[in-house]
Structure 1
Amino acid sequence: MTPNEYLQKILKQQSLSNDSPEIKAIRKEKEIVEEILRKEFSESNPTIRYGGSKAKGTMIKESYDLDIVCYFKHDDKNAGDTLKEIYANMKQALEDKYYVEPKTSALRLKGKDTDNFQQDFHIDVVPGRFVNDKNYDVFLYQSIGDKEYLKTNIEKHITHISDSGLHNVIKLIKYWKIRWGIFGLKTFVLELLVIKVLESINNERLDELLTKFWQELKDNVNNIKVEDPANPIGNDLSTHFGTSIKNQLSSISRGALDQIDNDNWESIFGPIQDKDEYNNIAITTAISSQKRNSAKPWSY
């Protein structure tokens, strides 16, 4: 098996089809969430749609999350006068059904009932308000940072990924990030980093693209700058791509290149597993993780 054939099998192993149990589950939960939001904010008629890796086509089985964006018209006040109020009102609306974990701009949904307490539904709800009547750019509330709002554009993010033609490389690098414990790097920044490094490379072989990516991180990571395509000036990503994470990326990339030199791709991405074996491992891991991380109702 050639390295490229091996990587194609890893991609297939990490793919999530529309009829997979994971996608069916989050699609079902998305319908419940949307029903709650449309009922609560019926006077506002918000725009609700997929965002994140589902919309960008970069979702992998090892770590999949669904972003549900819920955007209100620029002059709508029914959902809240300010972005902070919209965020708080949406959190309150979802708390009847879910345990809601606040994040910087999103609301993470987990189980609230005794039979699913603290179960992670892999769903982040992202409230926002359109900048103007064009319904294109959006302001999001930020609970952390120097300013309480962030201007962004999900359509620009999706287009940026789509136009790159690097979906498969991004999926593999996301998998590499998880397997090698690079937890300090935001996935969005990682996607931008892949495109920044490889956008001018005309090569369809995954093994060569990955080697080029890791080589650049090993040798030149300190000179790489990533920018938010939706707001390159207003959204400073340097705090998410600082010296510490750059040093980590350079070191781990060096390790990956050493394994490639030894023709040992399996040490980077693991062995190929048949479908039944992989599903059994995934189920066992999920159950073990839930037992480890989920607090019980009576522990509060």
Structure 2
Amino acid sequence: MDKSNHLDSVIKTHQITKEENLLKKHLEKKDEIKEALKEKYGSNIYSPFNSGSYAKNTAINTKFDFDLVSPFKRNAFGSNGTLKEMYEDVFDFLYEKYKNDAEVKKQKVSIGLEFYTDKDGDQIKVDVVPGREFNQDQYLSDENLNLYVYYKYGNFDAGSERIKTNIKAQISNIKDRATNEKDSIRKIIRLLKVWKSNKGTYPTKSFFLELITIKAFDNCEINGNLWERLKTILEYIRDNVTNESFNLKDPGNSSNDLTSTLTTSERQQLSDDMKNMLKRIEENDENIKTYFPENTKFIDEDSNKNGNRTSGIMPVPPPKLNFG
């Protein structure tokens, strides 16, 4: 079989635009929450914006993120207001507004809204990330924010008020690459997200996979067809992620090292998974379908349009849709 043709089909069948109605519902709910926050906090809040995989154009239709960052002014909660007070105030507001329509819960640095299943069987999920500018009226020029940690996040303990980040810089880290390289980076990231989603619960976060893909592009000669490029990335992860000196700097704050979000055993697990995957695919090309399955919900329409379906073994059914 042609592994690159298969991977191309994986990407096409996982395009988020194929879930047009569900995507529209998420966009509408995101806009509704954004307007509610602006109405509630008025001049104390800058315009909230989406920061997840949809904003980076790396989303897949079996799971993508709608993270709504809400940047507050430095004195929005009083001249001596704390980040904890900001976080709790936003939670209380969202809970009171949506408690009859959604489960509203406190998460690591965000507030999650999981809306109850609608008449179409769809569930909408939006995570609101409150952040506060460093100094009064400087956010529009430097875009730096401080986040509150509700419970432990990597090496940040619960109650920490010291996560400095620049979320727009994280988005630009992918969006501002050269056109051809950017397209390759996004394809590889989408494929790794398909792999991660197919595994179910997995300790490695999507942001980690994004950063390690970009670092591989910065440190390796990556060329050839889609499979050859993906193979180079998988080998890079296998060979480097367990090294003690390896680090993944947050483009929003170079003092944040994303490798600290994984334990030593979790990094070893990621390396071993890459090793085993590469070995099995080398043994039999058909095994690539186990690790990178097409989304069977859309496979027929793409094979009919393009005539490039790579079947022979029935593809693995996609995991349950889980937007958010």
- Could you say which TM-score interval applies, normalised by the shorter chain? 0.7 to 0.9
Write out per-residue CA displacement over residues 122-150 of structure 1, whole angstroms, 9 at most, x where no aligned residue: 21001111223125111111123333231
Partner of 2:126: 123
Q: Cα distance, 1:80 vs. partner?
A: 8.5
CA distance in structure 2 between the partners assigned to 1:41 and 1:79 by the alignment: 16
| Structure ranking higher on relative contact order (CA contacts 8 Å, 6+ apart) | 2
Partner of 2:36: 36
CA distance in structure 2 between the partners assigned to 1:210 and 1:239 by the alignment: 25
Partner of 1:178: 197
The alignment-based identity, stated in percent, is 29
Give yes or no for contact 1:108–1:125 (8 Å, CA) kept in 2.
Answer: yes
Partner residue of 1:141 out of 148, 159, 165: 148
Partner of 2:187: 168
Partner of 1:275: 298
CA distance in structure 2 between the partners assigned to 1:159 and 1:27 by the alignment: 21
Q: Establish whether residue 256 from structure 1 lines up as the match of residue 274 from structure 2.
A: no
Shift in CA distance, 205/254, structure 1 to aligned 2, threshold 3 Å: same
CA distance in structure 2 between the partners assigned to 1:225 and 1:87 by the alignment: 30
Give yes or no for contact 1:41–1:79 (8 Å, CA) kept in 2.
Answer: no
Give the TM-score of the pair, scaled to structure 1. 0.83
Structure 1: runs of 5+ lacking an equivalent: 290-300
Partner of 2:17: 17
CA distance in structure 2 between the partners assigned to 1:135 and 1:232 by the alignment: 15
Q: Cα distance, 1:91 vs. partner?
A: 0.8
Shift in CA distance, 80/135, structure 1 to aligned 2, threshold 3 Å: farther
Number of residue pairs aligned between Structure 1 and Structure 2: 281
Write out per-residue CA displacement over residues 234-270 of structure 1, whole angstroms, 9 at most, x where no aligned residue: x243331331112111221122112321112212212
263-272 or 149-158: bigger deviation: 263-272
Partner of 1:61: 61
Write out per-residue CA displacement over residues 195-236 of structure 1, whole angstroms, 9 at most, x where no aligned residue: 112334342622112111222233333223211111121x24
For the residue of structure 2 that corresponds to 1:17, the secondary structure is helix
Partner of 1:151: 164
Give yes or no for contact 1:259–1:268 (8 Å, CA) kept in 2.
Answer: no
Write out per-residue CA displacement over residues 16-69 of structure 1, whole angstroms, 9 at most, x where no aligned residue: 129712210101111221122122112424321111111111111111120111
Give the TM-score of the pair, scaled to structure 2. 0.77
CA distance in structure 2 between the partners assigned to 1:29 and 1:130 by the alignment: 25
Tell me the amino acid that sits aligned with residue 124 of structure 1.
D
Tell me the amino acid that sits aligned with residue 170 of structure 1.
I
Partner of 2:304: none
Shift in CA distance, 270/238, structure 1 to aligned 2, threshold 3 Å: closer
72-81 or 30-39: bigger deviation: 72-81
Give yes or no for contact 1:44–1:78 (8 Å, CA) kept in 2.
Answer: no
CA distance in structure 2 between the partners assigned to 1:195 and 1:243 by the alignment: 22
RMSD of aligned alpha carbons: 2.8
CA distance in structure 2 between the partners assigned to 1:181 and 1:198 by the alignment: 27
CA distance in structure 1 between the partners assigned to 2:112 and 2:289 by the alignment: 34
